[in-house]
Amino acid sequence: MAVTAPAVPPVAAPVHPRRKRYGTDNVSGRRMWGRTAIGAVIALVFLTPYLIMLVGSLKTRSEILSVPPEYLPQDGLQLGNYQSMWDTPETPLTYNLLSTIIIAVFATLLVLLVATPAAYYTARFRFPGRMVFLFLVIVTQMLQPAVLTAGLFRQMLWLDLNDTWVAMILINAAFNLSFALWIMHSFFAAIPKEIDEAAQIDGAGRLKVLFRINLPLVWPGIVTAVIFTFVSSWNEFAASLVIMSTAENQPLSVALTKFIGQYATSWQYVFGVSIVAIVPVIILFAVIEKRLIGGLTAGAVK
């Protein structure tokens, strides 16, 4: 009987390691660098005005007005501009900054205090005239303080609130309330009612359901409302110009105009005050950046 030799298994060809063509998100290196370059160009376009303000605040007035223009300070960095602009007697910037912070912070808190329960109620309950109410709320967003300055001045004069922080807090809160209510209404409406019913079965009251159950779920909407209201109140100009007559009570947006004269403008101080005015807003965005990103991506993944 013939004995057959065992079959020899074929030898696999050696596998040579390949160079990785894609990054962690399956994007080729060339495309990744291309997107990075495009993003850098777009960022530079948006940052250019702020860079011009920053560089201009470190120049002398003659350098800013020189022809041809000088893009960089030729006489050294004029850091003294930031000190001298705070010492201008007719423009008490320290009080102006304090006034702006108080008005923006308390207007934002007032908006949250009113808009949160209102948005929850309109999202959870069906009452007569509900859609009419929501429509009238959004219509108020079409009106701006610049259009109503004369009426607002007479109203605050009648209430004996003219030239006070309370007046500007109420005005800023009133004109930002509609947006905050609508954005928070949409977040509350996206939460299933079964969550509220389950909490009520466990013995939770309406207030507990609102603050302990719903608010953590609509936190991205609250952050969006906070950013919009704070930035809008921080930059408000028209109503403040008419109602706030005392130099110490005026916000930075009005105090900035004091450096712009009929025959001469201190551009180095205008740029310096503008840089100071945007710092608190940048700090706000840095503090709540993660919450803001959560609000933008809410509902993107199930």
Give pLDDT tens digits for 169-204.
999 998 888 889 888 888 888 888 888 788 888 777
Q: Where are the domains of the chain?
A: 29-78, 88-296
pLDDT confidence of residue 100: 93
The enclosing H or E element of 220 equals helix 219-235
- Domain 88-296 sits in which CATH superfamily? MetI-like (1.10.3720.10)
pLDDT confidence of residue 301: 43
pLDDT confidence of residue 300: 41
Identify which of 42, 244, 238 has the alpha carbon closest to the alpha carbon of residue 144: 238
CB under 8 Å to 17, separation ≥6 — which residues? none
What is the spatial distance between Cα 22 and Cα 16, in angstroms, rounded to a whole number?
17
What is the spatial distance between Cα 121 and Cα 107, in angstroms, rounded to a whole number?
22
Residue 76 backbone zone (phi > 0: left; psi -120 to 50: alpha; other: beta): left
pLDDT confidence of residue 33: 87
What is the spatial distance between Cα 80 and Cα 73, in angstroms, rounded to a whole number?
13
Kindly report the pTM of this predicted structure. 0.79
Tokens representing 260 are: 């712009």
Helix (H, G, I), strand (E, B) or coil at 115: helix
Identify which of 120, 49, 47, 107 has the alpha carbon closest to the alpha carbon of residue 228: 107
Question: Could you give the angle at which helices 289-296 and 219-235 cross, rounded to 10 degrees?
Answer: 120
What residues of the chain score a pLDDT lower than 70?
A: 1-28, 262, 289-302
pLDDT confidence of residue 260: 81
